Each structure stands twice: as C-alpha cells, then as structure tokens.
C-alpha cells in the first residue's frame, strides 16, 4: 500500500509541475491527490503516527486525531495568508504602491537596476516576493518602454525578490510555513539569513552591471503617474506595511500563533480603509449580491480580488504531504537520506536546486515531515534560504518568476541563457556565506 500512496503522490506532483502543459490549474491535482491519499489511509485502516521531535520517534495515533492536527496547522498558514493578501489588496485599492515611483529619479540603467533590486529586496521581506514582483514590474512598465531592456530588469527583480523573501518570516510562503510550524524564529532568521540573502542579491546585480544590457541610459522620458495618484495612497502604504511588520512583533510579545496578529493587523488596516473611503457599510452586514454597495467598500473590494485558487492549492498540497508524513514514510526516507548523504549541507543545497524545477511549497512541507531537528536548528534556517532563493534559477521555479513570465511574456530559454547563471552565482555565494557564518561566526 505504501507503493500505491507514493505513486499517487508522484502522479499528482507531476500534474502540479506540468500545469502549464496540461492546461489544468494546479489546485485540481493537489485536492484530488490529498483526498485520495487520506481516503486510502482510512479505508485500509493504515497505521498513522505523530512525530515526537524530542525523542525523534514515531507515536501511533488515530487517523481522525492526526488529520485534525494537520488541518489545524494548515489552517494557521491559510488564515495568515488570507490576512496578508487582503492587506496588500487594500493598499492597492488606494494605489499606495504608486508612491514607490517617487524614489525613481535616474535614467541610468545601472542606477535603475540598483534601485529596483533594493526595492524588490526590501518590499519582498514585507509584503512577500510574489506581490513585490507584481508591484515593481508594473512600475517598471511605466518607466522603461523597450521590452528587450525591460525583461533584463524583470529577471534581476525576480532574483532580488526571492532573496529578500528568504530572510523574513513574512517574505516567502515557504519561510512562513517554517515560521508558523515553529521550526524557525524571527531573530534567528534575521541573524542567520539577512547577510547571505544580501549576498544572494548583490552578487547577481554586480555581475549584471557589467553586461551590455545595463550600459548607458534609458531612452524614454520617465512617465508621470497621472491617474495613479490617490489622496490616501501614501498613508495607506505606510499603515499597511507597518501592520504587516507588526505581526512578528505581536507573536514575540504574546507567543500566540502568527495568524492572530495578522487578523489584528487586518482589522486595523480595514478600519483605516473604511474611514479613508468614507464608507458607511458594515464589514459583516453587506449583501454580497449588492454590487452598488460593495463597490463602496475597499475591504469587500479587496476580499473579492484575493487569489482563492492559491489558497486551495496550499490546502491540498500541505494535507497531501501530511498524509505521507502521518504514515511515517517521510521520517523513514529522511533516515535513509541521511545514511546515504551524511553531509546535510549537500542535501539542503540539492533541495534548493530541486526548487528551481518543482514547486518549493511541497518540498518544504516534505522536509518538515522528514527532519525532526529542534526549533532554530541551522538545518531549518538553511532550508529556508535554499528553498527561497533556489527557485530563481529557472523562470518557473518560483511564484515571482511565474508572475513575471506572465506579465512580460519572458521566454523560458531566454531566461535560462541570460539570467539563470546570475541566479546560480547568487545562490552559491549566499550558501557559502551561510555555511561560513554558521560554522565560524554565529
């Protein structure tokens, strides 16, 4: 039966990886895979276990209990992401991100590259790498009209955004998973990964400044955002970003799960949004079918724009991996892997390389079920860095890359030839810096 479960998981995994070829949204195979795996476990009454991280052993339990346990852990991530997505959409409702263009004053390609890379690195640590990429490429399209020049900048934005998301607990969904799963804490993430992440961004940018594509100045005039200005855009940007940054602080002070702080932040941002828009509509009493009323509420407008397919995908893939974890297979596989490759650094770097080919969410979810190291063990910190930055090596290896490919129609082979080596240089450089800091400094 174990072979059957693994086969189903592999088939579902391949369907997720090949979603663009199959023309099927990845949430479908994720949900089907999850449902079938748990159905087989229940129908055949397979033994299920919980991993005791202290004793590093498996404890037999009941399927209902373990499923409820994993559903609770998955719900923590989903509720957290729903709050973060809504805050970002509220900021966008007021065109708050248009404020960022005020920082762009130069026509030098090198200067623009540095500005966009730094903005991507900082923004992705606050609002996540996917949203940061969308925001900056939107601005990039207003600043640079030549597409051939623009896609070079987009490639470096992907690298910088993924690097920026790796060291922040709210910057990348995989790092968020490790943080909510109590594998890492915010102080350790920052102390161990900030410098390697900066190196991972800096090395490709410095190498790129020597390329012909970034020589000289842009030819077109910097456009003014005529219609993008909003009276409350800048205040809402500051309020929204501050609210998201407050979440790790709230968790540190209260020791409550991160989604509690995110819900508080969402409530505060929503209150300001309703006040700024002078809406008189209650957030709980509005009729969804009343399009006239709902259009006046920035909160409901923002909620309607949330990407629910991604939320359902997380539900499916995390519970599917949990099914394999509960049967003990991932725990046993980790033991075999450690015996075959005693050097954990090589294993984690291989995980980073794999994240460029296949989705890093199930990879990290699987690693959380494979290893039983304590909170803030360097293994978890290295996994956060490797999975977060390794996806930059291929255009479809990260959410940031996929959205950039869609927005700019970037060709896979163009990215492979022009950008992948830069991303690889950053990944290797950052990994070396992490290992040196771990072994000799921290």
Q: Are 279 and 297 in contact (CB under 8 A)?
A: yes
Confidence grade of residue 400 (pLDDT, cut at 50, 70, 90) = confident
Whether the per-residue pLDDT at 144 is higher than 60: the answer is yes
User: At residue 71, does pLDDT exceed 60?
Assistant: yes
User: Looking at residues 358-376, what average pLDDT do you find?
Assistant: 80
Residue 421, CA distances (Å) to 80, 151, 159, 424 in order: 34, 16, 11, 5
pLDDT for 57 equals 63
CA 419/CA 398 separation, integer angstroms = 14
**Residue 277: pLDDT above 90?**
no
Q: Is 178 left (phi over 0), alpha (psi -120 to 50) or beta?
A: alpha
Binned at pLDDT 50, 70 and 90, residue 294 comes out as very low
* Of 364 and 238, more confident: 238
Confidence category of residue 369, pLDDT binned at 50, 70, 90 = confident
pLDDT of residue 225: 45
| pLDDT band, residue 280 (cuts 50/70/90) | very low
Residue 383 CB neighbour total at 10 angstroms: 29
Strand blocks (E) in 7-135: 48-52, 57-61
The Cα 173–Cα 195 span in angstroms is 20
Q: What are phi and psi of 218, to 5 degrees?
A: -75, 150
Of residues 174 and 54, the one with the higher pLDDT is 174
pLDDT at 282 over 60: no
Output the pLDDT for position 292.
43
Return the closest-CA partner of residue 318 out of 389, 391, 367, 385: 367
Predicted confidence at residue 426, as pLDDT, reads 96
Record the pTM: 0.81
């Amino acid at each position: 039966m174990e072979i059957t479960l693994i086969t189903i998981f592999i088939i579902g995994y391949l369907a997720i990886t090949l979603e663009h070829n199959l023309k099927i949204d990845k949430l479908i195979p994720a949900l089907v895979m999850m449902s079938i795996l748990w159905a087989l476990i229940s129908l055949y009454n397979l033994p299920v276990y919980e991993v005791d991280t202290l004793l590093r052993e498996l404890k037999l339990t009941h399927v209902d209990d373990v499923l409820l346990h994993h559903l609770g852990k998955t719900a923590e991530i989903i509720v957290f992401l729903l709050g973060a997505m809504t805050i970002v959409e509220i900021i966008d409702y007021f065109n708050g991100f248009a404020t960022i263009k005020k920082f762009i004053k130069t026509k030098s390609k090198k200067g623009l590259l540095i500005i966009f890379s730094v903005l991507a690195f900082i923004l992705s640590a606050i609002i996540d790498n996917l949203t940061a990429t969308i925001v900056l490429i939107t601005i990039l399209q207003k600043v640079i009209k030549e597409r051939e020049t623009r896609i070079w900048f987009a490639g470096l934005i992907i690298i910088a955004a993924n690097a920026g998301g790796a060291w922040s607990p709210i910057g990348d969904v995989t790092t968020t998973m490790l943080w909510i799963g109590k594998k890492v804490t915010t102080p350790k993430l920052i102390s161990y990964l900030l410098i390697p992440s900066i190196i991972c961004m800096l090395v490709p940018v410095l190498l790129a400044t020597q390329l012909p594509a970034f020589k000289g100045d842009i030819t077109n005039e910097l456009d003014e955002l005529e219609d993008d200005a909003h009276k409350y855009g800048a205040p809402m940007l500051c309020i929204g970003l501050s609210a998201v940054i407050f979440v790790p602080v709230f968790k540190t002070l209260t020791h409550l799960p991160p989604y509690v702080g995110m819900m508080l932040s969402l409530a505060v941002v929503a209150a300001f949004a309703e006040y700024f828009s002078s809406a008189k509509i209650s957030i709980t009493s509005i009729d969804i079918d009343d399009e006239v009323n709902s259009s006046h509420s920035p909160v409901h407008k923002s909620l309607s724009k949330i990407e629910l397919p991604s939320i359902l995908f997380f539900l499916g893939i995390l519970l599917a991996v949990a099914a394999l974890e509960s049967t003990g297979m991932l725990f046993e596989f980790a033991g075999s892997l450690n015996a075959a490759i005693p050097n954990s650094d090589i294993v984690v770097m291989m995980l980073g390389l794999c994240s460029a080919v296949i989705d890093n969410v199930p990879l990290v979810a699987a690693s959380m079920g494979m290893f039983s190291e304590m909170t803030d063990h360097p293994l978890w910190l290295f996994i956060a860095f490797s999975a977060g930055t390794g996806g930059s090596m291929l255009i479809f290896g990260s959410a940031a890359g996929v959205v950039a490919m869609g927005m700019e129609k970037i060709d896979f082979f163009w990215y492979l030839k022009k950008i992948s080596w830069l991303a690889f240089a950053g990944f290797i450089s950052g990994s070396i810096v992490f290992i040196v800091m771990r072994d000799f400094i921290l």
